[in-house]
Structure 1
Amino acid sequence: MNKRQTRIFALASTGVAVVIFLGLTLDSHRQFPKLTHSENITDSVIRGQNVWHKNNCINCHTILGEGAYYAPDLTKITQHRGTPYLTAFLKDPSQFYDETKHRRLMPKQDIDDQDIADLIAFMDWVSKVDNQGWPPRPILVSGGSIPGTDLSVAQQSGNPAATSKLPPGAAPVSSANDPVALGEALFRTATPACAACHSTAPGVNLAGPTLAGIATRAQETIASPEYKGKAKTAAEFIHESIVEPSAYLHPGAMYSANGASFMPTTYAKDLKPEQIDHLVAYLASFK
């Protein structure tokens, strides 16, 4: 190839690359309204974006892949935490975590109720943007996983080596068709995922209390004078807690406010009755 041919090839290649780049850019802009659901950008969402920037939230948090990594990714936060929880958290983060134990966490922003509502509206809009699966999983706010507790159903197959790594009190799963196995899978894949708020390790409290020993604690709660629900057995109590979270309020300001639990109330509608039964079977195995 001589110099003239080389020059023509370089110019042609550059031209083709530019055309492809422009075509992809135009196609992206064509899809933006659909991917971002721009029709849902209300005045509240716009005000919430202003609150996000005014308080420099991006200095610690990440959304849609942009921001810092000091604090949890918030791209899907409204799908992992409900509005009541987020509202109470933004009003006073310190009531949710002991800073003497967990060190410096979320600072109190001192923003008013309207700003909080707008910020949550903005984050809810962000959570519904089609971002091709980002982030791949929720980032735990506190505690984290304990080695040996995040086992798959395949690992919990009755193998002695795998059984020794089960969370304390959990029974080994014998079959992928077993209700306990199906419940374990659902625990991690439901929307919002139970595992995003609850740990199965003793003493590891996240946005919700640990579920280690939940079956034993359920029996104790039912027998206590504070319990006003309808459950008579541990399984019934767990079922009630899933479909009617406010029937019994777990002690602690970080779990409820104004007589209502922060746990989502959508599981009874979004899950099939047999799926709820699978979840109950799984959780009831934690003695």
Structure 2
Amino acid sequence: MNKRQSRIFAIVATGLAAVAFVGLTIHSHMRFGELTNAQEITPEITHGKDVWHKYNCINCHTLFGEGAYYAPDLTKIAQHRGEAYLKAYMRDPSNFYDEQRHRRLMPTQNLSEVEIDNLIKFLDWVSKVDNQGWPPRPILVAGGSMNVAAQGTDAAVQDVRPVTAASDPRAIGEHLFRTAVPACTACHSLQPGVQLAGPSMAGMAETAARTLASPDYTGNATDVEGYIRESIVNPSAHVVPGDMFSADGVSFMPNTYPESLSEEQVDQLAAFLASMK
């Protein structure tokens, strides 16, 4: 290829690349409304976006992989945690952390109830945007990590959180999830698709609802929290035939929690797990 041919090739290749780029850009813009469910945007969602910017949430968190990386990406947080959990967390994040263990914590922003409600609506809308698989890795919500589970009960008991009788029951329930004897983290993960000795608790609310609606359900619960409570105090009340977590109709889950936990603690643990979407 001589110089003239090389020049022509470069010009044509550049032109084709430019046309492709412009075409893809136009195509993307034409689909923005469909991909983002723009028709679902309400004044409350718009206000929630304004709250996100007002308090500079992006200085620590990310959406769609964009932002700072000091704290978790929140693109799908509304699909991982229920509204009640998110409200309790935003009201007072300190209930969900041990300052000595975790050091860098989310500050208490003193959001109004309206700001909290609309910020959650905004994050729910974000979670439903068709982001075409971006970021290219699953975003996991912190909690119940395999590292803690591998270390066993002693390590989990050290994860003491500043919970009090006045704290939200979901915060106390998360604390119990780590510190109950035996520790729930020894067998259960809170991460989607991460199976340890027991099933992942991610999506527990939906799992419980589906089980209750199934004609094969053999327990006595009538609602989600009741089912979770039953699974804690009487794990063999309902077992899934053929699964790897039971044998001969008997669950592998310990049946000693009625002795080691009070009824109030079981309720708090159930409240936390019922917030897992």
Same fold judged by TM-score > 0.5? Answer: yes
Give per-residue Cα distances to partners, 1:55-100, cap 9 Å, x unaligned. Answer: 1111111110101111111110011111111111111111222213
**2:267 corresponds to 1:249:** yes
1:91–1:111 contact (8 Å) kept in structure 2: yes
* Residue of structure 2 equivalent to 1:219: 258
Give the CA deviation at 1:33.
Answer: 1.4
Contact 1:49–1:122 (Cα < 8 Å) also in 2: yes
Aligned residue in 2 for 1:128: 128
CA distance in 1, matches of 2:203, 2:92: 28
Distance 1:217 1:98, change over 3 A: farther
CA distance change for structure 1 residues 168 and 19 in 2, over 3 Å: closer, same or farther? Answer: closer
Alignment-derived partner of residue 20 in structure 1: 20
For normalisation by structure 1, the TM-score amounts to 0.57
Structure 1, unaligned runs of 5 or more = 150-166, 171-180, 195-210, 228-246, 267-287
Q: Provide the rounded CA distance (Å) in 2 between the counterparts of 1:169 and 1:66.
A: 33
1:145 Cα shift? Answer: 2.0
1:190-230 CA deviation, whole Å, 9 max, x = no partner? 57799xxxxxxxxxxxxxxxx9x9633433268x5x36xxx
The 3 A distance-change label for structure 1 pair 169 and 95 is closer
Amino acid paired to 1:263: A
Unaligned runs of 5+ in 2: 151-184, 189-194, 208-231, 233-251
| 1:132-161 residue CA offsets vs partner (Å, 9 max, x unmatched) | 334533334246322785xxxxxxxxxxxx
Q: In the comparison of the two structures, how many residue pairs are matched?
A: 194
2:149, 2:187 within 8 Å by CA — same for their partners in 1?
no
User: 2-side partners of 1:107 and 1:119: how far apart?
Assistant: 16
User: Contact 1:80/1:193 (CA < 8 Å) preserved in 2?
Assistant: no
* CA distance in 2 between partners of 1:264 and 1:20 (Å): 45
How far apart, CA to CA, are the structure 2 residues paired with 1:76 and 1:103? Answer: 25
Q: In the alignment, what sits opposite 1:244?
A: none
Residues 265 and 85 of structure 1: CA distance in aligned 2, closer, same or farther (over 3 Å): closer
SS in 1 for 2:46: helix
1:169-248 equivalent positions in 2, closer than 5 A: 184=198, 187=200, 190=203, 215-220=254-259, 226=263, 248=266
Change over 3 Å in CA distance of 1:2–1:137 after alignment to 2: closer
